[in-house]
Structure 1
Amino acid sequence: MLGMSGQAIHQRLAAWLNAETQPPPRAASDLTRAAPALVPGDVVLVEGRSRIGRLIKRISQSPWTHSAIFVGRIRDWDNPEIAARLRDAWPGRDDDYLLLEAEIGSGAILSAIDKYRHFNVRICRPQQLTRRDAEKIVAHGLSRLGHDYDVRQLFDLARLMCPWLLALRRWRSSLFRERPARHRRTICSTLIADAFYSVDFPIQPIIKEDKHGRLQMNRPNPLLCTPRDFDASPYFDILKFPWIPLSTPGVYHCLPWERDDPETAAPPARPVRSRLARMARNALGALKALRIRIGPTTTR
């Protein structure tokens, strides 16, 4: 347990890392329209704009800095145990669309999906996931509610994946040894990886042949999982929800493109080739005129 001074330092560090350093642009996806189409077990990737987000971008070489499991609305859950657990943990309404996530400063929590309506997001849907296994994944994630965010794991991951760091990448790393605190701390992608591995669902498995030539799949260390792994996984489909969907063939011709007013629009620029040809003709004409004035050179 942290003392009072340690907690204060941790809270200040978390606030500094979570501070957004860029103004929010208009999101590329319509998350309000996406929410009713999502199902429990979908993974939501977020392009963050905070200092910690910039660090994760450098670590993973990916724009996706955060990940969360879509839980859905409490009122849609037929499983009474999950519904009761959600009501105990969520102070809002039963018709709020919920995410299960782990974030620095808060740990493993439930959040409304509207929290990310101004962010660029990507939806990753696990292929052929059964409803029963989706319930197990959500239940596994809910069992981690209240766990602290593992800042040490994040920086060890950065040390491992950034080759320019001078420190030995495996030396005293929390990623390659068992820690008692490991079961009470997590980060966003590890929380999700543990949940999917609990039902043997693959994310980025290591595939090799055994001595008989048969394919075998090994689970990577969940502590090494990053949000980009769900985007790159061949076992997750990517769902996109643009603000203006293309619902019928050729409908893109009717998109509300911004057009210039014909009366105020500047004349179109001449093609480069025609301008070069005109310049060449003018130069040739000038040379001919100069030759006529001076006349040919004669010798006596």
Structure 2
Amino acid sequence: MGAVQREVRMANLTDRIGRRLAQFLQTESSGYEPYTPSDPETLKAVLQPGDILLVEGNQRVSAVIKYLTQSTWSHAAVYVGDALDPPGDGSERHRLVEVVLGEGCISVPLSKYRTYNTRICRAHALSQADRNRVVAFMVDSLGLQYDMRHILDMLRYFFPFPPVPVRWRRRMIAFGSGDPTRAICSSLIAQAFQSVPYPILPEVTRAPGRAAAASTYSRSEILHIRNHTLFTPRDFDLSPYFAVVKPTLESDFDYRKIVWGSGADANSAASG
């Protein structure tokens, strides 16, 4: 048997194992409580094509990603507006494109995340033409397979090994096949914005005449971040080039119109 055939057989075996493990990783965790449920109509009124919707997931795989990234956000999707045709059966239109564990790159309706904590991240001053390019990139990626080797990498964190050192966590979630026909959620979105190109967490270099950074490790780690496989959902939240959009504040929020409960009124009166 040639090397190519062995590689194909190994890839097929990995896919079969990965699909079974995906079912385990997608099991929902108990105790999840959304503090700010996402009303689909409210999101639709605020979202613009090319916006990123970060999601706090409630699955086992979500717990792994949160641990490795030390972040609230475990998933990311891109809002594509009306770029996709409406379903023929009259059901809700799909306006999000995402990469899902075990399924690959798919489109879903906004109502999928009705009961989840979410955050909108918007690329600042991104031109309409470049927004369209980001949307087109995501739409053209529909059908890509999920990187099953990524599942095998994440599964290790369900075993009682010592905690993963902070400096290794980002590299741990970058493991995988590296196959361009396969993807994970944040890496595909990073590719979409890099194709414009638009910065997320770009490489930082020392300016002439300035003192060197105290840590050599810090400099080398930042250099690695440019690789799209090293991006995580939280990077869009941390990026200085993406604005956080709050739907409530976008809809003429006025704190003076809030109707407080009797307990709050009593406390307010006491403090006054």
| Common fold: TM-score over 0.5 | yes
Shift of 1:37: 1.6
Equivalent position of 2:231 in the other structure:
225
Q: Distance in 1 between matches of 2:137 and 2:229?
A: 16
Match for residue 284 of structure 1? none
The 1:152/1:176 distance shift into structure 2, 3 A limit, reads closer
State the distance in 2 between where 1:158 and 1:135 align. 36
Sequence identity (%): 34
Deviation at residue 153 of structure 1 after TM alignment: 3.8
Q: Deviations over 1:1-51 (max 9, x none)?
A: 679976554332111111111255345044321212211000000000100
Residue 146 in 1 paired to residue 124 in 2? no
Shift of 1:192: 0.3
> Offset at 1:242?
4.2
The correspondence of residues 1-300 of structure 1 with structure 2, limited to 5 A, is 9-22=17-30, 25-32=33-40, 33-74=42-83, 86-87=84-85, 93=90, 96-153=93-150, 164-165=163-164, 175=174, 182-209=179-206, 220-242=226-248, 247-248=253-254, 250-251=256-257, 254-257=258-261, 259=263
Structure 1 residues 4 and 47: alpha-carbon distance in aligned structure 2, compared to 1, 3 A threshold: same
Structure 2 residue ranges without an equivalent (≥5):
1-7, 211-221, 268-272
1:249: Cα distance to partner? 5.4
Q: How many residues align?
A: 239
Q: Quick one: which amino acid aligns to residue 228 of structure 2?
A: P
Counterpart position of 1:282: none
With structure 1 as the length reference, what TM-score do the two structures score? 0.66
Unaligned stretches of 5+ residues in structure 1: 75-85, 263-267, 269-300
Whether the aligned pair in 2 keeps the contact of 1:73 and 1:94 (CA below 8 Å) is no
2:241 corresponds to which letter in structure 1?
Y
For 2:3, the equivalent position in structure 1 comes to: none
Relative distance call for 1:96 and 1:149 in structure 2 (3 A) is same
Normalised TM-score (structure 2): 0.73
Superposed CA RMSD in Å reads: 4.0
